[in-house]
Amino acid sequence: MCARSPTRFNNLRLDRSNNIDLSAIKNFRIGEKFTLQYRFEAFNAFNHAEMDTPDLSPTSKTFGKITNQPNLPRSIQMGLRLKF
């Protein structure tokens, strides 16, 4: 039996997820037949970095180091939609 570090519980060493998405939608009536919709959406609105799990392979040169960031930086999009 070889002694290896367990890989089943890697997620127990992760920090909690801190990713907040926001959206705002406003509808404007234009006459009786038309509606204009404005949308504002922000993904990862507060731009929090999430760190990946540390490398747990005992023979690796990067043992104990975090070398990856799995989430994306803040992304903002806006849009207009005309309903008739």
Alpha-carbon distances of 37 from 22, 43, 75, 76, 79, rounded to whole Å: 17, 19, 20, 17, 8
CA 20 from centre of chain: 8
**Domain limits for position 33:** 17-83
- Residue-by-residue pLDDT tens, the chain, 84 positions: 455 555 565 556 666 777 899 999 999 999 999 999 999 999 999 998 888 878 878 888 888 888 888 888 999 999 999 999
Amino acid, res. 44: N
- Report if residue 37 sits inside a domain: yes
Q: Is residue 7 part of a domain?
A: no
Residue 2, in any domain of the structure: no
Give the total number of structural domains in the chain.
Answer: 1
